[in-house]
Amino acid sequence: MKKSQVTIKDIARQLGISASTVSRALQNHPDISQETKQQVSELAMRLRYQPNALALSLKHRRSKTIGLIIPEIVHYFFSSVISGIEDVAYEAGFTVIICQSNEKYDREVANVKTLMAQRVEGILVSISKETNDYQHLHDIRSSDTPLVLFDRMVPGLLADQVIIDDREAAYRATRHLIEGGRRKIVHFAGPQNLLIGQQRKEGYLQALREAGIAANPEWIIEADSFEKARNAVFRLLEAGSLPDGIFAVNDLTAIGAMKTLQKKGLRIPTDVAVVGFSDGRFSGITDPSLSSVDQHGYEMGTIATEMLLKRILSKENEYPFETKVLHADLIVRGSSS
C-alpha cells in the first residue's frame, strides 16, 4: 500500500502550528519568526517534503506544463525537435507531456483531449499524415490555450507556426542536380495532403521550370519509404526509363533508391545522382555519402517552444500570429557530386 507523501499538514501537526504558518515559513514570508522558519524548513528537509504540484496547479490555475503532440518519436528529426523543446521548457520551469499520434488522426484527437484535461498551458503539435480535419485544433484555440504548430503546418489556422522553407530547400536540391548536368530528374514525393509534401514537390517543379525542363508527370512518384523507393526503382528499370537524377522526399527513400540502383549495377553519382531530405543520421554512413537537406530539428524545437512560452507568459497575448520560416541547408555529399 502506497503511503501518501508528506504534506504541509503533516509538518504543521508535528510542530503544533497551523498549515498556513508552515506554508508561509517555507516561502520565507516576513510574518513568520526566524525560529519557526528554522524549525519548519528543518522538518521539511527531514521528511523530504515535496510540494504537491497538483494542488498548486489547481490553486494557481497554472499547471506549468505544456503538451506536445508528435507523429512518431522514432524519427531522428522528431526526436531532435523534442530535445530542443525539452531544453527550453526545462529552462523555463515547465514540464512537457509528450503524446504520440502514431500518424493516426483518432489518436491525435484523443491526445488533444488528454492534454486539455491536464490543463496544459500551451500545446505544440505536428499533425499526423492522416489529419485532414482541424476541428480539434480549433477547439484548442477557442479555449484560448496557446498553440504552436511545427514542421507540418495548417494554412489559415489562427496559430503560430514554425516550418522550414521546404519549397526553397527542394528547389535548391533540384537545382543542384540540374547544375550537375542532370536533365531527367525523378521526384519521390510524400503524401500530398501534407503541406510539406506539396511544397517539396513544388520546389522541384519550380527548379525544372526555371531550367526550361518540361515536367513529366511520370517522373513524380509517390514514394516515401525505403520499400516504396525500391519498388519504384524496379518499375523504372523495367520500363527502361532510367533517370539521371533523383530527389527524394526523405533520406530513407533516397537510400532505398540508391541501394537498389547499385544492386542493379548502376553507379552513384555517375549514372544517377541522388539527393535526400534529412530525417536521420544516415547521410554520413551510406556509400557514397548522401547529399541531403539539413532540417535543423533541434533549432526548430527551441524556436517553437520560445514562441509558445511567449504567448503563455504575455498577459496581453493579443499580438498577431506569426509563421516563422526556417532556413534549411543543402549539404552536398558524394551521392550527387
* Residues at the interface with a second copy (CB under 8 A): 1-5, 48, 50-55, 57-58, 61, 63, 72-76, 79-80, 82-83, 86, 95-100, 113-114, 116-119, 121, 139, 143-145, 226, 252, 255, 259, 262, 280-282, 284-287, 315-317
From the list DNA, a second copy, none, pick the one residue 116 interacts with, judged by a Cβ distance below 5 to 8 Å according to partner type.
a second copy
Residue 203 or 256 having the CB closest to a second copy: 256
32: left (phi over 0), alpha (psi -120 to 50) or beta: beta
From the list a second copy, DNA, none, pick the one residue 35 interacts with, judged by a Cβ distance below 5 to 8 Å according to partner type.
DNA
Q: Establish if 23 lies at the interface with DNA (CB under 7 A).
A: yes
- Name which position in 18, 118, 192, 323 contacts DNA (CB under 7 A): 18
Nearest approach in angstroms of CB 44 to DNA is: 10
Give burial (CB, 10 Å; 0-12/13-18/19+) of 187. buried
Q: Establish if 59 lies at the interface with DNA (CB under 7 A).
A: yes
Report which of 120, 78, 132 is spatially closest to residue 100, judged by C-alpha positions.
78
* Residues whose CB falls within 8 Å of the CB of residue 278, separated by 6 or more in sequence, listed in order: 77, 250, 251, 292, 293, 294, 295, 331
Q: How far is CA 303 from the centre of its chain?
A: 11
Nearest approach in angstroms of CB 306 to a second copy is: 18
**Cα–Cα dist 308/250, whole Å:** 28
Which residue reads 530528374 in cell numbers? 185
Contact 197, 274 (CB under 8 A): no
Q: Establish if 114 lies at the interface with DNA (CB under 7 A).
A: no
Nearest approach in angstroms of CB 52 to DNA is: 3
Q: Establish if 47 lies at the interface with DNA (CB under 7 A).
A: no
Q: What would the DSSP string read from start to end of 119-139?
A: T-SEEEE---TT----HHHHH
Q: Establish if 31 lies at the interface with DNA (CB under 7 A).
A: yes
Long-range CB contacts for residues 135-139, cutoff 8 Å, separation at least 24? 136/108, 136/109, 136/112, 137/112, 139/112
Contact 111, 99 (CB under 8 A): yes
Nearest approach in angstroms of CB 106 to DNA is: 24
A 10 A CB-CB count for 63 gives 19
Q: Establish if 20 lies at the interface with DNA (CB under 7 A).
A: yes
Which triple of cell numbers denotes residue 290?
548522401
- Name which position in 2, 35, 45, 265 contacts DNA (CB under 7 A): 35
Residue 136 or 175 having the CB closest to a second copy: 136
Q: Establish if 14 lies at the interface with DNA (CB under 7 A).
A: no
Q: Establish if 52 lies at the interface with DNA (CB under 7 A).
A: yes
- Name which position in 2, 3, 4, 142 contacts DNA (CB under 7 A): 4
* CA-angle at 265, arms to 262 and 269, nearest 5°: 55
Residue 210 or 287 having the CB closest to a second copy: 287
Residues found near DNA in the complex (CB under 7 A): 4, 7-9, 16-21, 23-24, 26-27, 30-36, 49-52, 55-56, 58-61
